[in-house]
Amino acid sequence: MMYKKVMASALLWAALTASAGAFDYNQSVDEIAESPLTAYQTVYLGMPRADFDANFSILPDWTFYGSSVSFTERAERTSVVKNVSVTEGIEIFSADTSAKGKVLAFDNYFKTTDKATAKSIYSRLVATIYSNMENFPVKQTSKEVEWTQDDVSITVAFDGQKDSDGNYIVYIRRYNNKILK
């Protein structure tokens, strides 16, 4: 009984003292890659758009970008560790703009101005997914790796180039390959 109280106190203290905007992007990479068919065990293909809205609009360290007129919605959070900023995001693509619209595809992405950090994230994603997939990749180049499991395609990509905002972007995309190709 005393052990449970000590553990509960420790968890509560950790939750209260953690800074709201800080997250460990390596932990996020691992969580995403260990179950590559979902994201954070809450986002999956075919889920209603309203569920994504409900999940990400209430999280304190995420900024939610919802829309009732666009087929896409996203959420992001940013952390700076050792002067390196990393923005983690998730974007969904739905069949229609209604609350019942089904998620047809979703991306997790990591943006940073530091190329070494982006390369590290890409390598970690690929290695972790590789060890958790039932099948070997169906496509592999120096810039992307793609797996297919049943009717779902999973692509991890990093092209090594900065975008128009000066960021390197690493992403993992999941989509139903019978509906989208």
pLDDT for the residue 2:
47
pLDDT for the residue 42:
86
- What is the number of other CB atoms lying within 10 angstroms of the CB of residue 169? 21
Please give the helix or strand (H or E) that residue 144 lies within, else none: strand 144-149
Name residue 8's amino acid: A
Average pLDDT of each block of 10 consecutive residues along the chain (181 residues)? Answer: 42 39 82 88 91 91 90 94 93 93 95 97 95 90 93 95 97 84 54
Residue 98 backbone dihedrals phi, psi, to 5 degrees: -75, 165
Name residue 142's amino acid: S
- Helix runs in 18-175, H state only: 25-34, 49-57, 115-132
pLDDT for the residue 132:
86
pLDDT for the residue 24:
87
pLDDT for the residue 35:
87
Tell me the three state secondary structure of residue 179.
Answer: coil
Tell me the three state secondary structure of residue 39.
Answer: strand
Residue 109 backbone dihedrals phi, psi, to 5 degrees: -145, 155
- Helix runs in the chain, H state only: 2-17, 25-34, 49-57, 115-132
Could you tell me the residue ranges of all domains in the chain? 19-176
